[in-house]
A = this chain, B = another copy of it.
């Protein structure tokens, strides 16, 4: 995949730095993005306007030469074994990385904020000038997707819809006894529904770490993943964010269901949240800011008399999170649709996910995922919004 690193070149030029370095395993998405290499142990990558170079162990070398975006050196080329024998391990690693940078003509580097302080201090000790990139210059490059990346997120969204459907069918088929959902004679739990969702995702090439199936008071906390038997008449928030095993790209979607009849309050929350989502999408286009999109949601909720964090920074009920985030190799990445969200660009992929929360009623959230275009957006999510099942 060809990525546009011209803004990184400009940044390095402005700062008077030779290169941009990452030391992490490929769970670090900036590492995976810049190196093009997927490995479970930390390795060192340096980007310069001329080349991208990786430094890996002998164990990873063969695969790296085949898969990585750049050239690959192995640690034995820098006599790492002798360095390890002569020095404490952190010092040996710093000397190794400094020698590698020197061999590639790099005396000064920018690193991401998350670069490990142990390695940073070690490189400084070896005389490498190291500056922290507090602007997130690579995060901003990653935020604007290539056509290939857009396709990856679209594919993960299709798998996500299949798993949401499997979830909805399970809720739909459940019986209600004394207010509790039952499936095949057993109480239907949050855990059982998550397994249904996750098995469906595996069968469609996706992995995932966590899924939210939160009912009643669990649903009042946006980060509560939910547990135990599901209850009829209570909102059940289902938030699914899988990662394609093949490409590493994510999708993200939320729906809220009530088995049986929703209370009047929850029905009102649901309609209001649909309205808030429409208002956010109306703002969404290249040139608008993330703050504009977030403000549109706050306007809807505040006009209806609900608290928001904009209105009251200490509120624990009402609208208590931001409106959306970028999605790519990370499930949460730039840009941010929040009070401080900056100008949006075409090619950015974002979620729109308004919601209302209150321990008294639980929570309601609806979330779609879309790519920003010059004159609006394309919504990837093609899943119905129906509260009662």
Chain A residues within CB distance 8 Å of chain B? 27, 39-41, 58-63, 76, 81, 84, 88-90, 111-121, 130, 132, 134, 195, 198-199, 202-203, 207-210, 221-224, 309, 313-314, 316, 320-321, 332, 340
Contacts and interface: CB of A to CB of B under 8 A. Distances in A.
Given A58-B314, A89-B340, 19 more contacts: A59-B320, A63-B223, A84-B340, A89-B134, A113-B117, A113-B119, A114-B116, A115-B117, A116-B116, A117-B120, A117-B130, A118-B132, A118-B134, A121-B132, A195-B202, A198-B207, A199-B199, A199-B202, A207-B209
Given A90-B113, A116-B117, A118-B134, A313 B81 contact: yes
A322 to B, nearest CB: 10
B116 A115 contact: yes
A152 to B, nearest CB: 17
Nearest to A74: B314
21 contacts: A41-B332, A58-B313, A58-B316, A59-B222, A59-B223, A59-B320, A81-B313, A88-B134, A89-B134, A90-B134, A112-B118, A113-B117, A113-B119, A114-B117, A115-B117, A118-B134, A198-B202, A198-B207, A199-B203, A207-B209, A207-B210
A113 B113 contact: no
A347 to B, nearest CB: 24
Contacts of A202: 195, 198-199, 202
Number of copies of this protein chain within its complex: 2
Contacts of A199: 199, 202-203
B121 A63 contact: no
Given A113-B90, A313-B76, A221 B62 contact: yes
A76 B313 CA distance: 8
A265 B195 CA distance: 42
A99 to B, nearest CB: 17
Given A113-B116, A117-B111, A40 B314 contact: no
A260 to B, nearest CB: 28
Nearest to A120: B117
Contact of A117 (B63, B117, B224, B321): B117
A63 B224 contact: yes
A198 B61 CA distance: 28
A320 B207 CA distance: 29
Contacts of A121: 132
Nearest to A198: B202
A331 to B, nearest CB: 9
A121 B41 CA distance: 25
A208 B245 CA distance: 11
